[in-house]
């Protein structure tokens, strides 16, 4: 079911208590969102522009906003006026204007930014909606073809890092992934592991303590994506730190290294620039998981020119 901005209603066969509002004029995006949500029994209402009054949007379970629906300044104003909870907002963006995204991140703490690269990956929207609806946040396997089994290793201290990364490289070579993608995956895995080990509270950094508080390193490839996941049992990565870092990332030119960033911040920056999707799952004081997903279909030149997606899921285990 959909509602156009003019108020016309098309009858659909799906009835559900959950309704989503899609703000876009992009026919390709309309088809993709409808194909993804309607089979999940979510009704989709569509508007060509922000409705008046803006608080109409508050009745929807989810609000999906195309960045092309308004100029950046107007878009920010409309979002501010609407007062939409960020947990219910999904933002589609193909803009190359990083400062605009940095501003949105700073003001609204956008939790789900899905990149438009000619279109969206419908599977990305599907997984995002599933996680928001179920609260089942953790695990790289959700992003991969059903039946793909990630390889999981425990990394207990810094000396375990290099052998773990080497095992990832060997696995991807066996999967005939191209060398340039393997290099990106290697760098991402190394940085993620280093960050996770660095976040370990001081009292857990001894070998004996880390035996029961190991960092979980998981990776898989389904022919479409290389997925890398690093999770720990500390839950110490905060939203504030993450958003401060991401705002700097979006303010940078592509592959420009931030001069004032070091340590974990620089590592996450490398991972972000090497991924199609960066996913962060946080259960405060319990668990942190960072997932890097690279779409290995196509050429490296195409990969380097694509916009990036970001997702943050924050809750309890």
- pLDDT tens for 50-85 read 888 877 888 899 999 998 888 888 888 888 888 787
Decide if pLDDT at 100 tops 70. Answer: no
Beta strands in the chain (DSSP E): 2-3, 9-10, 18-23, 42-47, 62-66, 89-93, 112-115, 151-155, 215-221, 225-232, 277-283, 287-295, 309-314
Full-model pTM: 0.85
Tokens of 66: 């195309």
Report residue 200's pLDDT band, with 50, 70 and 90 as the boundaries: low
Averaged pLDDT of the chain: 82
Judged by average pLDDT, the poorest of 97-101, 119-123, 127-131 is 97-101
Could you give the percent of the chain with pLDDT greater than 70? 80
236-253 confidence digits (pLDDT tens) = 677 777 877 777 766 665
Question: What is the structure's pLDDT at 207?
Answer: 47
Pairwise CA distance, residues 2 & 46, whole Å: 6
Pairwise CA distance, residues 114 & 111, whole Å: 10
Report residue 23's pLDDT band, with 50, 70 and 90 as the boundaries: very high
Average pLDDT over residues 189-194: 92
- More confident call, 155 vs 198: 155
Beta strand 18-23 with 62-66 is parallel
List domains and CATH numbers for the chain: 2-134 (3.40.50.2300), 140-314 (3.30.565.10)
The pair phi, psi for residue 315, each rounded to 5°, is: 180, -160
Question: What is the structure's pLDDT at 148?
Answer: 93
- More confident call, 17 vs 254: 17
Alpha-helical segments (H) within 63-160: 72-82, 98-108, 122-134
Report residue 235's pLDDT band, with 50, 70 and 90 as the boundaries: low
Question: What is the structure's pLDDT at 52?
Answer: 85
Average pLDDT over residues 5-20: 52
């Amino acid at each position: 079911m959909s509602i156009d901005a003019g108020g016309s209603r098309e009858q659909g066969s799906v009835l559900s208590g959950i309704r989503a509002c899609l703000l876009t004029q992009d026919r390709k995006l309309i088809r993709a969102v409808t194909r993804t949500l309607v089979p999940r029994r979510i009704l989709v209402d569509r508007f060509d522009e922000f409705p008046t009054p803006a608080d109409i949007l508050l009745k929807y379970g989810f609000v999906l906003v195309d960045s092309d629906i308004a100029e950046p300044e107007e878009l920010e104003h409309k979002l501010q006026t609407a007062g939409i909870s960020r947990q219910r907002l999904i933002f589609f963006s193909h803009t190359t204007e990083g400062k605009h995204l940095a501003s949105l991140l700073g003001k609204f703490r956008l939790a789900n930014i899905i990149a438009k690269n000619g279109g969206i990956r419908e599977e990305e929207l599907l997984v995002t909606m599933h996680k928001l609806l179920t609260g089942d946040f953790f695990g790289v396997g959700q992003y991969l073809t059903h039946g793909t089994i990630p390889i999981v290793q425990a990394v207990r201290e810094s000396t375990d890092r290099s052998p773990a990364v080497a095992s990832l490289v060997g696995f991807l070579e066996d999967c005939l992934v191209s060398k340039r993608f393997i290099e990106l995956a290697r760098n991402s895995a190394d940085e993620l592991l280093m960050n996770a080990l660095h976040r370990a509270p001081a009292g857990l950094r001894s070998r004996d303590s880390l035996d029961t508080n190991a960092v979980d390193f998981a990776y898989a490839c389904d022919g479409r994506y290389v997925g890398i996941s690093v999770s720990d049992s500390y839950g110490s990565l905060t939203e504030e730190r993450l958003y401060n870092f991401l705002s700097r990332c979006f303010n940078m030119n592509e592959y420009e290294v931030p001069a004032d960033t070091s340590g974990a911040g620089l590592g996450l920056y490398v991972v972000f620039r090497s991924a199609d999707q960066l996913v962060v799952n946080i259960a405060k004081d319990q668990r942190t998981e960072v997932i890097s997903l690279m779409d290995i279909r196509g050429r490296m030149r195409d990969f380097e020119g694509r916009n990036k997606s970001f997702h943050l899921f924050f809750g309890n285990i």
